[in-house]
Structures are given as structure tokens and as C-alpha cells.
Structure 1
């Protein structure tokens, strides 16, 4: 009886891996449907089984990375399975344990808990003990000021992401230049100052912290250089000067709900309308635009458009910009990130050095980390 029970429990564990982790939509890899078995991979890639862990499938940008990476791993003949952490680090940790015990020999990890060297070290230690490489991507693995604590402690490790402050600097300058060129039109109440709202996303995320800081600071620098006053946060009672997705999900829904509440108190009729909206990602920008459109704004020709800026350059944000409902965004290159990750995975498959062929990429030279690769941001206004 005990043997039968053990067999049943083992079967349930395998089923759990398939149901919770194997959700890739790539058509050429049956790892999506079979929890690890795949169509015969090409060439030297036949020995690699990659487990790809995403912090949350529902994140629009992450979904773009996933689609691109699925295609590139498939094209390289690399067997893979995708796992949804569902914004829960405990879930992701359990998925990593299960993948390692199931024979996966490459970990590609988009951590749930961003900027946590403790979390990243725990994952790296598991990979090291199993003798498998680990590629972290998109979400920072170390706290600001603690660079190298993880990436410098394990030979077979890499990070593919972005230089966290860059998006904030780029967005701030873009907003400042836009305001200088359109100041009178944006200043709806004609008080000589632009009242803004800021949507942060996740308070512990390094990217969100820098975007919140530099999106305003760099805009203010452009304004003051042009002889204009600095931005003024619309709600003087909010000393943080941002509104936060309390679930850390950077969601359109949270931003829309905040903006609906804002618009019930701040309006042109009251002379205190929010005149500029800065968002740390395009999801939140879309939520704000939905609330504005319901209130009669940003609906195209004949309606007042409140400038809304985001980050990511998702397809839906590009469509809103093309329609005149959104002003600009900073492109976070999903395809470029996926291409670099696939290059590293290909190196593992061919038995090459993990970082082979990466000399053309920008790296964290300031901290001496050759294995920390930055994919550059770009301004996007639809032009």
C-alpha cells in the first residue's frame, strides 16, 4: 500500500510541474504541452533542457519577452519549459527546485523579488550545487550599491537587463523637452506651473525607484534651464509624490482606479486639473488613459489631451501614441533582450563559454562585471 501511495504522489508531482510550469506557446517545442519533452532539438542543443522562470505572465512587457524568447529558443533547437511565478517568490523557488530535480540543466530566471541579493544568491547556490548555469534577466538581482555580491560570486552566471537609471533619465529629458515646446497648451489652468501625477509600480523595484526619481528630476532640469518652474505634484498632501500599485504588479487596473479617484477631485472645473501623467511602465499609462477617456479626455481630435508618458513601448502603447491618446514612451527592447538570452543559452548548448560572442554588448564596466549585460533603452514617440 505504501508503494502504491508513493507512486500516486510522484505522479501528482509530475502533473503539477506540467500544469503550473509548462505553458509555453511555441508551436515547435512540445515542452509546452508535455512538461519537458520536446521535438528533436537541432545539433549540439540536444543535451540542454532550459527552465525559463517569469515573475508574472500577465505583465505586458514580460509577455513580449516571453514570446520573443520562446521563438528564439525554438529556432536554436533548445528544449525549454516556461514557468509562471505569478508574482510570488515562494512559488518561483518551488518551481526552481522541481525543475532541478527533474533534470533541467539551464536556469533562465526573471526573479519575482527584484533587487534582492539574498533571493538571487539562494537561486545561484542551487544552480551551483546542481552544476548548471543560471541566466538572470530583466529584474535586478542585487541591491544598488551591492553590485557583484551575486554576479561576482559564481563563475557560471550572467545577467541580461538594462541600466536601471537610464530609462528615468531618458524619460525625464523627453518630458522636459516636450513641455518646453508645448508649455502653454499643457498649462490648462494658466498658473504658470505644470501639475503632474506619478505612478510608481513597485516600491522595492530598482527600475521603478530610478524612474520615479529621474523622470521628475531630469524633467525639472530641462524646465529650469529653459526658464520655466519645476513640476508641481498635484496632491500637496502626498509627500511621497507618487501613487503606488500596492500589489507591486505595475497594473493598468490599479492606475485606472487611482486616476478615476483623482479625477473626481481634480478637474478643469475646479481649476486644479492634473496636466501631466508620468508612469513607470506602459501598463499603468494605459490605465490612466482609460480613466481620462472616460472623463472626456485623450479621445482624439476635438478633445483635450493630457500628456501621458510611459516606459516599455508595448504594442498597445504604440497604438495609443499613433491614435494621439498617449504622448511618448521609452522602449525597453524585448526582442533585443530575448536575442541576448538566446545567445547565452546557445553558448551553453554548444559547450562554449557562457559569455562568448557578447563583446559588442554594453556591460557594467563601472563595477567590473563582464557578465552583467545591458540592453539599451530608446525614446519612442511614434515618429
Structure 2
């Protein structure tokens, strides 16, 4: 795991472990699993993977720290002939082709950006007078991005805005801030923006719910009476509660339960039979993409 303080990736880890227990009984094998956190250090993660290889683990699942720098892990796995399932941080396609036992489980970031945009479009079409707080016919917005170089952050940010403007809605960007998937960082960034644009932020697009909740923390602490639309991604339980309470506009469910299920099933299949189970359909024999789902005030989804 790239970090232990990310609520969404921790949900995936929890679901992997739960499913491993289930598959232990189903396959009639003993499963020993170990979790290591890299503290956002790719060098440390490289050493952790090598340690797993040295200890003879059959399959290694990796939530990369740096999606552009998997070479050490790939070469170590290839030399030891041990399969790697990468997840939630999509590495470059050419890297995934370097060894025939490399796989990726994730979701299409374009899809999440498009759904974020659709949530905004529907809200604007339904209640423009309520959304356009200063009634100038333009939606003033802030973008909260996950981290520099992260594929999901880059694509999600671009596609969400393109989807909204493509529907004929005018946007004015007031800020584009990197908050590294971190709630406290998002709160700090939005608090600073509020000081510069009091009462004029009408939309906050956050690359994930953790940052969306940080934005809500900032707005609440700052004493903003009429909240802007806030749209996140992942479908965290707290974010869904805020949608139900009318404090957030929506989120995009990034199905951590299904990701955990697929990763665990692939891992056990590879460990027991040396292949991915036949009922898991891979794209290009490498990729498994879990679909996103829209969650807004009209389409509440409870995990």
C-alpha cells in the first residue's frame, strides 16, 4: 500500500482481506497475507516487494507509490516469476507489457470525470437560480486535484470540466489547487480561497471525497451560510451521509468492495492454479476495470 492514511485505499485493503478469508474456505487452501505501507516512498515500497519475494509469497498486490516508476518491482517479479496485481494507480501500458504475469485492477478515470460533470449539469438544469449564487449566468468554480502526475487526477479534472462546458454551461475558474487526496490540505486550500473570493465560489469539484469533505470543513468553519455545490469521487460513507443531508451535491462511487473482491479472486486463482479465474474477463489479458456509479440527492446508493 502506498500510504496508510488514505480512506479509500484502506477500504480496498479491507475488502481484499475479507474476500481472502472467504476464498480460503472455497478453494480449500491456507492463505497467509501480509500488508506493508510505504509511507509514500517508492524506494521503501521496492524493498518491501523484494522482501515479499524473498519470503516466497505466491502473489503480490501493489498499490504503487509512483505509477511512473515501477521498474524495480517489475524486474524483481520477473526474475522470481511471481505475478503482480497492481491496483488503483495505473502504470503506463508499456510497463505492464514487460512481464506476462503483470495485471491491473482499477477504473476508467474518464468515466468518473464525466459522471462528475453530469451531476453538475443536472443540478444546473434543475435549479440554476439556486446554484448561480451571484446570478451572473456563469458558475464560478474551484478544482481540488489529487496529486501531481496521478493519472486519475489529471484525467478526472480535465474531463469533468469539459463535460460541463460541453453542455453549454459557462464556467469561471477561481482556483486549481493540489491537495494530495488529503482532507486537511483541502480544508487549508479552500479556507485560503474563501478569503480571496468570499461568497462567490459556486462549485467545488474534488478529485475524491476526502478532499470534498475537507472543502466542506472549510466552508463550515468559515461560516458560509449558502453552500456551493460540492462534488467528489469514491463514494465514502461520510460523503454519502453529507449528500443525504443536502451538504454535498454528489459523488461518483468508485466501488472499493468490487475492487477488493476482484483483486482477491485473481490473487487466489494465480496462487492456486497459476492463472486468473475464467469468470474474470480481462481487457487485453491485463486489465480489469470496475464501473463507476453516480450518487447524488436523487440516486442515493448505500453500500
TM-score scaled by structure 2? Answer: 0.92
Counterpart for residue 69 of structure 1: 16
How do 1:1-383 residues align onto structure 2 when only pairs under 5 Å count? 54-77=1-24, 78-114=31-67, 116=68, 119-142=69-92, 147=93, 149-222=94-167, 224=168, 228=169, 230-234=170-174, 242-245=176-179, 249-268=180-199, 273-297=200-224, 303-359=225-281, 363-364=282-283, 369-382=284-297, 383=299
Per the TM alignment, residue 293 of structure 1 is displaced from its structure 2 partner at its CA by 0.9
State the shift of 1:165 in Å: 1.4
Could you list the runs of 5+ residues in structure 1 that have no partner in the other structure? 1-53, 236-241, 298-302
Structure 2: gaps spanning 5 or more residues = 25-30
Instruction: Provide the rounded CA distance (Å) in 2 between the counterparts of 1:370 and 1:351.
Output: 16
Secondary structure class of the residue paired with 1:308: strand
**Distance apart, 1:323 and its partner CA:** 1.6
Query: Aligned to 2:36, what secondary structure does the other structure show?
Result: strand
Deviation at 1:357?
A: 2.1
**Alpha-carbon separation, structure 1, partners of 2:61 and 2:249:** 34
Give the greater-gyration-radius structure (CA): 1
Cα separation, 2, equivalents of 1:374 and 1:162: 5
Q: Quick check: 1:127–1:133 contact (8 Å CA) kept in 2?
A: yes
Shift of 1:355: 5.0
State the Cα RMSD in Å.
1.5
Provide the rounded CA distance (Å) in 2 between the counterparts of 1:317 and 1:91.
Answer: 32
Distance 1:154 1:355, change over 3 A: farther
Q: Which runs of 4+ in 1 moved over 6 A?
A: none
How far the C-alpha of 1:186 sits from its partner, in A, is 1.3
Alignment check: 8 A CA contact 1:174 1:219 kept: no
State the alpha-carbon separation in 1 of the partners of residues 41 and 71 from structure 2.
Answer: 17
User: Contact (CA 8 Å) 1:282, 1:329: kept in 2 or not?
Assistant: yes
User: Contact conserved, 1:196 with 1:233, CA < 8 A, in 2?
Assistant: yes
Secondary structure of the 1:304 match is coil
Whole-angstrom distance in 1 between the partners of 2:252 and 2:72: 32
> What CA distance in whole angstroms lies between the structure 1 residues aligned with 2:220 and 2:105?
37
Alpha-carbon shift at residue 95 of structure 1 (Å): 0.9
How many residues are paired up? 292
Contact 2:120–2:164 (8 Å) recurs in 1: yes
